[in-house]
């Protein structure tokens, strides 16, 4: 399953690199800063009712965290990214999201990617693409079809650790 995911991830990474000024890099070469923030997102994922987590970072500080709460809240839209964005807006307003970086343990689904784009998040870093219960539209395709938004996407940061969360 992991090798399938990695192959899928590679295709996503290739797609993303054609759209982004900053090409996705291999896991081993991800900057320490990206790995550190992704570890916080992984910590959130471990506490979620489905293993997805997200953190939003601005000026090297975490301004919001989120994890999947769909079952807990009986809310199918309570994905990790949506939870983080809603908390960020509630705590800080929406302006801080503009140009922020969102770290997600899974590739954002079309709903979450739409929210990320509407909020003008400037950079998305995700760990692993998963085909589990997913709407199969790559986030890079959604970004490419939103000409009003500018976002760079990096895939594959700590992907193996994110996929391990699904082994339990
Ligand atoms: Zn989602």
For ligand 1, the distance from its centroid to the CA atom of residue 35, given in whole angstroms, is 21
Q: Strands 101-106, 53-58: parallel, antiparallel or unpaired by DSSP?
A: antiparallel
d(CA 70, CA 53) in angstroms, rounded, equals: 12
- Residue in 15, 22, 44, 81 annotated catalytic: 81
Q: Report the run of H or E that residue 14 belongs to, with start and end.
A: helix 2-19
**Distance in Å, CA 162 to ligand 1 centroid:** 15
CA-to-CA distance for 116 and 98, rounded, in angstroms? 10
User: Would you say 112 and 81 are in contact if contact means Cβ atoms under 8 Å apart?
Assistant: yes
Q: Identify whether the C-beta of residue 140 lies closer than 8 Å to the C-beta of residue 116.
A: no
User: Is this structure's pTM higher than 0.85?
Assistant: no
Split at pLDDT 50, 70, 90, the class of 1 is: very low
For residue 7, pLDDT over 70 is answered with: no
- Tens digit of pLDDT for each residue in 113-166? 999 999 999 999 999 998 777 899 999 999 999 999 999 999 999 999 999 999
Question: What is the pLDDT at residue 132?
Answer: 76
**How far, in Å, is the centroid of ligand 1 from the Cα of 102?**
13
Task: Find residue 67's DSSP bridge partners.
Answer: 53
Please say whether the beta carbons of 119 and 97 come within 8 A: yes
118 CA distance to ligand 1 middle (Å): 14
Number of neighbouring beta carbons within 10 Å of residue 153:
26
- Predicted local distance difference test score (pLDDT) of residue 29: 65
The number of CA neighbours under 13 Å toward the Cβ of 102 is 33
What's the pLDDT tens digit per position in 19-78? 444 444 444 567 999 999 999 999 999 999 999 999 999 999 999 999 999 999 999 999
pLDDT of residue 130: 81
pLDDT digits (tens, 9 = 90+) for 81-94: 999 999 999 999 99
* Active-site residue flag, 22: no
CA of 67 from ligand 1 middle (Å) equals 11
């Amino acid at each position: 399953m992991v090798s399938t995911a990695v192959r899928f991830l590679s295709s996503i990474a290739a797609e993303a690199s054609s759209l982004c000024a900053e090409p996705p890099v291999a896991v081993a070469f991800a900057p320490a800063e990206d790995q550190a923030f992704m570890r916080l997102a992984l910590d959130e994922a471990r506490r979620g009712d489905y293993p997805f987590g997200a953190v939003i970072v601005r000026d090297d500080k975490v301004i919001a965290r989120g994890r999947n709460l769909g079952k807990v809240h009986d809310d199918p839209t309570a994905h990790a990214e949506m939870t983080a964005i809603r908390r960020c807006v509630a705590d800080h307003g929406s302006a801080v999201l503009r140009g922020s970086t969102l770290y997600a343990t899974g590739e954002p689904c079309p709903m979450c990617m739409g929210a990320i784009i509407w909020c003008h998040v400037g950079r998305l870093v995700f760990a692993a693409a998963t085909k589990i219960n997913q709407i199969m539209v790559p986030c890079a395709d959604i970004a490419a079809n939103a000409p009003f938004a500018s976002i760079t996407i990096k895939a594959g940061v700590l992907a193996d650790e994110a996929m391990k969360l699904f082994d339990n």
